[in-house]
Amino acid sequence: MKRDRKHKLGKLELAAMNARLNRIRLSYSKEFHRIPKDITKVHSMKAVELRHLLLYTGPYIFSGMLL
């Protein structure tokens, strides 16, 4: 049975999000203890990393992705 995968992001969207995340990493503050991982490694992120992604870096990374 083949599943409908319309909710998945394509390779171009993931590459754009990772490029934005790489730009953030260059100016990452020392007050935050964990450097953000690639979007493709969300399944291995800890709760603190996910919270940081959603609250701080997420609005910039996800802007323009959800149409």
Give the pLDDT mean for 34-42: 83
pTM for the full predicted model: 0.69
Alpha-carbon distances, residue 63 vs 1, 13, 66 (angstroms): 34, 11, 7
pLDDT for the residue 37: 82
Residue (of 56, 66, 67) closest to 21 by Cα position: 56
Give the pLDDT mean for 33-53: 85
Flag whether pLDDT at 5 surpasses 50.
yes
Flag whether pLDDT at 15 surpasses 60.
yes
Give the pLDDT mean for 51-63: 85
Would you place residue 67 in the very low, low, confident or very high pLDDT band (cuts 50, 70, 90)? Answer: very low
